Amino acid sequence: MTLYCNVCAREQLHRISATVTKLVSETSNENQGPFWYVSAQISECGGCGNFSFQEIFHDSDAPSEDDTSRNTYPERWYRLPRQYRAVPWVLESTYRELVFAYNQHWGPLPALSFLSTIGLSVLLEMICKDKGGTEADQRGRFGTVDSLEKLLPPNVVAALHEVRRLGNDAKHEFRHLDRENLGRALDAIESVLDTLYDLEAKAMNFHLQAPVRRRE
Ligand SMILES: [Zn+2]
C-alpha cells in the first residue's frame, strides 16, 4: 500500500502490520441493516519504519480504493509551513491557515481546494496592502499587485497577477486550482514573503568573521 509519509516527505510503500475489521449497522439496532464495514489498520513505512494508523470505511469485506473513505493518523503534512522571522503576525497566521487547508485531504483528493485558492488571493492582498506603499498605481489605486513593481522583478509581479486572477476565478467562476498548481502558487507566495520581509532580517544577522591570516 502506498501512503504519504511525513518523515520521508514523499509517497512510500507501507507494509500493513495488522488489520481488524468489524461490521457496523447504520441504525441503532446492531442486528438490522444496512451495514458497512470499518477497518482499523496499522502500517509501517518502508522508508523510515514509522507507523501510521488508518480508519477505513467501506461497503464490502474486501475494501477497494473505489468504495472506501479513510482517515489517516497522524495527519499527513504534505507541506510544512516555513518559519519566518519578520513577517507580520496577521500575515503569518493567514499563511499558516493556508498551508493547513492545503494539507487537508479526503483520501487522495485535496479537501479544501476552494478555501486554499481563495486564501492565496487573500494573503496576496494582505501583502500588497502592507508593502504597496502610499503611491497610487497607474489606475489611481492603492495596495494593488502593481504597487509591488518597485520591489519585485517583473516576472514575479506577473506571477502574482496570475494568483490574483485565479483567486477571482474561484470566487466568481467557482473554479479552483488542483493540488499541483496550489503547490506552485504557494511556492511563489513563500518566495515573495521571503524577499519582501525575511531577506532583510536575515541580512542584518549575517556577520562574517574576518578570515584567518595565513602565516608567511
Ligand atoms: Zn517514512
Q: What is the pLDDT of residue 47?
A: 96
Distance (angstroms) between ligand 1 centre and the Cα of 132 equals 43
The reply to whether 214 falls in a domain is: no
Task: Report which of residues 130 and 30 the model is more confident about.
Answer: 130
- Number of structural domains (the chain) is 2
Residue 109 near residue 196, CB atoms below 8 Å: no
Distance (angstroms) between ligand 1 centre and the Cα of 10 equals 8
State yes or no: pLDDT of 98 exceeds 90.
Answer: yes
Parent domain of 51: 2-73
Question: 101-144 pLDDT, tens per residue?
Answer: 998 876 556 678 889 999 999 999 999 999 987 777 677 777 78
Domain end residue (candidates: 73, 104, 125)? 73
Distance (angstroms) between ligand 1 centre and the Cα of 9 equals 7
Distance (angstroms) between ligand 1 centre and the Cα of 2 equals 11
Distance (angstroms) between ligand 1 centre and the Cα of 4 equals 8
Query: What is the SS3 string spanning the chain?
Result: CEEEECCCCEEEEEEEEEEEEEEEECCCCCCCCCEEEEEEEEEEECCCCCEEEEEEEECCCCCCCCCEEEEEECCCCCCCCCCCCCCCHHHHHHHHHHHHHHHCEECCEECCHHHHHHHHHHHHHHHHHHHCCCCCCCCCCCCCHHHHCCCCCHHHHHHHHHHHHHHHHHHHHCCCCCHHHHHHHHHHHHHHHHHHHHHHHHHHCCCCCCCCCCCC
Average pLDDT, the chain: 86
Residues 99 and 174 in one domain: yes
**Distances, alpha carbon 190 to alpha carbons 47, 62, 76, 92, 185, in Å:** 29, 43, 20, 11, 9
> Taking residues 74-100, what's their average pLDDT?
92
Residues 110 and 68 in one domain: no
Task: Report which of residues 106 and 53 the model is more confident about.
Answer: 53
Q: Tell me how far apart the alpha carbons of residues 119 and 135 are, in angstroms, rounded to a whole number.
A: 26
Distance (angstroms) between ligand 1 centre and the Cα of 74 equals 12
Domain end residue (candidates: 45, 73, 101)? 73
pTM of the predicted model as reported, rounded to 2 decimal places: 0.73
Q: What is the pLDDT of residue 212?
A: 72
The reply to whether 78 falls in a domain is: no
Q: Tell me how far apart the alpha carbons of residues 71 and 1 are, in angstroms, rounded to a whole number.
A: 15
Q: What is the pLDDT of residue 34?
A: 73
> Taking residues 47-68, what's their average pLDDT?
80
The least confident of 26-35, 47-56, 60-69 is 60-69
Work out the percent of the chain whose per-residue pLDDT is above 90. Answer: 45
Residues 94 and 183 in one domain: yes
Domain end residue (candidates: 14, 47, 73)? 73
Residue 63 banded pLDDT, cuts 50, 70, 90: low
Distance (angstroms) between ligand 1 centre and the Cα of 106 equals 20
- Please, which residues have CB within 8 angstroms of residue 68's CB and are 6 or more apart in sequence? 56, 57, 58, 107
Residue 206 banded pLDDT, cuts 50, 70, 90: low
> Taking residues 167-178, what's their average pLDDT?
87
Residues 21 and 95 in one domain: no
Distance (angstroms) between ligand 1 centre and the Cα of 69 equals 22
